[in-house]
């Protein structure tokens, strides 16, 4: 295969990214046709990254006595196709190519990165990373052993080989179906995003790991008007998926879900305010578990004694029927990874086992601090960022109650179907979330839809206040969201069954 130089690669990519594409336009064919679905050997084949070069750069990174070092090579192509006002009138392409070089000394990190994959530029970045230490040099491993892992998102067809004319009918179909479902719909936006991210991790202790990570989603936002009043809502589907996932049936499901979520808001009321039972519905409300509880179990917050959970390993944090897992091995979910950004294989980590806190989420630094093995949670946004402990797919296992029994047991309160705009204080665990979709619960039955209401509480307290779990576990099927931490965004997944929290603060209408 003919190699493409970085200069010509970036010039072509920038030209494509800068072009505004009308509905019937076609991207230049073959501008990234050099891409192959195989992950193995990609960076050596396309950019000349040899093991000898990696060993030399790692030696420079350890020249001042770092404990260990690693290289993180990345080549990512991202595409957006956007429909507004009935036309696909915007498209964009973004390209990322570079290497991040990390040196670790104790719990301190030196970091350098470069967009140039030449030896001179990489050695300069490695010298920057090495400055964290001040001792005699260490040497990297004499050989690198390829990491063998399972593949939780096999790729047969790259998105870069899917022509634009194959994507256009998909977004146009969602638009047309939304308008056809109700005369109240006055505006529809549809976004289709696809990404292929290639990474190569080479570590000073002899690990070499390569991966091809797909990510994609289709999202629609609907605006409807009734008697001069407007409401807005939407939905998305995606994950680590190939283009074949986006079928006509999925487009129809997306349109119906988006329209239904919008129209129901015309009938929504504000519920009474105060302390009351809250039922969290299955699937997407797992974001509350992620934000209010999961972050507190990331090991860096505990190592620094920021988290409420920093002294709770081995102690009861929930009722015995509650088990919480963070898992990188669920096929095709947004947060799944074959290995993390330090070269640790993807795995399942039980955080809370039958009510007992059993583990934090570790990268290599925190694992060394606690004297345990890394859990595969060392993640970063891109080669320009260093690794920190991050969640993958975080979820709570199902109970054995029927969903209707959960609602019946609540008596009077609210049922939360979806939340948005959350704010969380990691240390204390205090949170506030806007309920974007939900219903009142009256006399143990679902009542009127609700809107303009917040739920507030404390994550650890909420966890301990879960008194029933249903048997209706779901993973959220969306792919558009990303978790923010330390100025970095990372794709994650979440899920849970319906659960009854015996008391939370609801900010609705004062009685």
- 264 in a domain, yes or no? no
Q: Are residues 321 and 213 in the same domain?
A: no
Contacts of 478 (CB under 8 A, 6+ apart): 217, 235, 236, 237, 238, 239, 284, 334
CA within 13 Å, CB half, 297? 30
Number of structural domains the chain divides into: 2
Q: Are residues 212 and 330 in the same domain?
A: no
- For residue 290, the 8-state DSSP code is I
- 454 in a domain, yes or no? yes
Residue-range definition of the domain harbouring residue 15: 6-163+192-218
Angle at CA of residue 431, ends 429 and 433, nearest 5°: 155
Which CATH number belongs to the domain containing residue 147 in this structure? 3.30.2290
- 19 in a domain, yes or no? yes
- 175 in a domain, yes or no? no
Residue holding tokens 């199902």?
A: 398
Are 231 and 224 in contact, with CB atoms under 8 Å apart?
yes
Q: Are residues 211 and 328 in the same domain?
A: no
Q: Are residues 35 and 144 in the same domain?
A: yes
- 238 in a domain, yes or no? no
Angle at CA of residue 203, ends 202 and 207, nearest 5°: 75
- 244 in a domain, yes or no? no
Q: Are residues 207 and 323 in the same domain?
A: no
- 428 in a domain, yes or no? yes
Q: Are residues 285 and 143 in the same domain?
A: no
- 68 in a domain, yes or no? yes
User: pTM here?
Assistant: 0.92
Q: Are residues 292 and 208 in the same domain?
A: no
Q: Are residues 144 and 283 in the same domain?
A: no
Most distant CA atoms of the chain, gap in Å: 76
DSSP state letters, 292-322 = IIIGGGBHHHHHTT-SGGGG-TTSB-S-TT-
Q: Are residues 214 and 296 in the same domain?
A: no
Q: Are residues 98 and 211 in the same domain?
A: yes
Which pLDDT value is given to residue 8? 45
Q: Are residues 70 and 210 in the same domain?
A: yes
Contacts of 146 (CB under 8 A, 6+ apart): 40, 208, 209, 210
Q: Are strands 388-389 and 378-379 parallel, antiparallel or unpaired?
A: antiparallel
Helix (H) or strand (E) holding 357: strand 356-357
> With helix as H, strand as E and coil as C, how does 438-500 read?
EEEEECCEEEEEECCEEEEEEHHHHHHCEEEEECCCEECCCCCCCEEECCEEECCEEEECCEE
- pLDDT tens string, the chain, 511 residues long: the values are 334 444 444 434 433 333 333 333 333 333 343 445 676 899 999 999 999 999 999 999 999 999 999 999 999 999 999 999 999 989 999 999 999 999 999 999 999 999 999 999 999 999 999 999 988 989 999 999 999 999 999 999 999 899 999 999 999 999 999 999 999 999 999 999 999 999 999 999 999 999 999 999 999 999 999 999 999 999 999 999 999 999 999 999 999 999 999 999 999 999 999 999 999 999 999 999 999 999 999 999 999 999 999 999 999 999 999 999 999 999 999 999 999 999 999 999 999 999 999 999 999 999 999 999 999 999 999 999 999 999 999 999 999 999 999 999 999 999 999 998 888 898 888 999 999 999 999 999 999 999 889 999 999 999 999 999 999 999 999 999 899 999 999 999 999 999 999 999 999 666 5
């Amino acid at each position: 295969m003919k190699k493409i130089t970085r200069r010509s690669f970036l010039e072509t990519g920038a030209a494509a990214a800068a072009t505004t594409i009308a509905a019937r336009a076609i991207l230049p064919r073959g501008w990234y046709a050099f891409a192959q679905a195989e992950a193995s050997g990609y960076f050596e084949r396309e950019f000349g990254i040899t093991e000898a070069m990696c060993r030399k750069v790692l030696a420079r990174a350890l020249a001042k006595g770092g404990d260990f070092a690693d290289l993180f090579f990345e080549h990512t192509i991202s595409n957006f196709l956007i429909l507004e006002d009935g036309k696909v009138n915007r498209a964009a392409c973004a390209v990322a190519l570079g290497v991040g070089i990390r040196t670790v000394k104790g719990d301190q990190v030196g970091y350098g990165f470069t967009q140039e994959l030449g030896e001179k530029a990489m050695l300069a970045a490695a010298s920057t990373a090495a400055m964290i230490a001040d001792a005699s040099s260490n040497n990297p491993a004499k050989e690198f052993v390829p990491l063998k892992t399972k593949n939780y998102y096999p790729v047969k067809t790259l998105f870069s080989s899917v022509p634009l004319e194959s994507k256009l009918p998909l977004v146009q179909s969602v638009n047309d179906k939304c308008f056809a479902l109700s005369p109240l719909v006055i505006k529809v936006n549809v976004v289709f995003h696809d990404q292929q991210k290639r990474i190569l991790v080479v570590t000073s202790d002899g690990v070499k790991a390569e991966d091809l990570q797909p990510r994609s989603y289709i999202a629609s936002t609907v605006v409807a008007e009734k008697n001069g009043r407007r409401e807005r809502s939407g939905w998305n589907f995606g994950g680590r998926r190939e283009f074949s996932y986006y079928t006509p049936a999925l487009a129809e499901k997306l349109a119906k879900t988006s329209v239904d979520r919008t129209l129901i808001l015309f009938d929504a009321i504000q519920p009474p305010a105060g302390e009351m039972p809250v039922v969290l519905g299955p699937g997407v409300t797992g974001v509350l578990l992620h934000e209010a509880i999961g972050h507190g179990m990331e090991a860096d917050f505990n190592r620094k004694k920021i988290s409420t959970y920093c002294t709770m390993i081995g102690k009861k944090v929930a009722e015995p029927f509650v088990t919480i897992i963070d898992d990188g091995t669920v096929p095709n979910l947004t947060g799944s990874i074959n290995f993390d950004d330090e070269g640790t294989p993807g795995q399942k980590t039980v955080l809370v086992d039958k009510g007992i806190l059993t583990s934090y989420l570790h990268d290599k630094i925190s694992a060394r601090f606690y004297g345990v093995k890394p859990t595969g949670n060392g993640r970063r946004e891109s080669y320009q960022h260093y690794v920190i402990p991050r969640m993958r797919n975080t979820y709570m296992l199902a109970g054995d109650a029927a969903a209707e029994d959960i609602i019946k047991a609540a008596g009077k309160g609210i049922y939360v179907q979806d939340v948005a705009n959350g704010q969380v204080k990691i240390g204390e665990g205090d949170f506030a979330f806007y309920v974007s979709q939900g219903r009142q619960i009256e006399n143990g039955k679902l009542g009127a839809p609700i809107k303009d209401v917040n739920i507030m509480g404390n994550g650890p307290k909420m966890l301990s206040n879960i008194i029933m779990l249903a048997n209706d576990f779901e993973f959220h099927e969306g792919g558009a969201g990303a978790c923010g931490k330390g100025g970095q965004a990372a794709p994650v997944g979440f899920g849970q069954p319906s659960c009854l929290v015996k008391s939370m603060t609801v900010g609705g209408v004062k009685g």
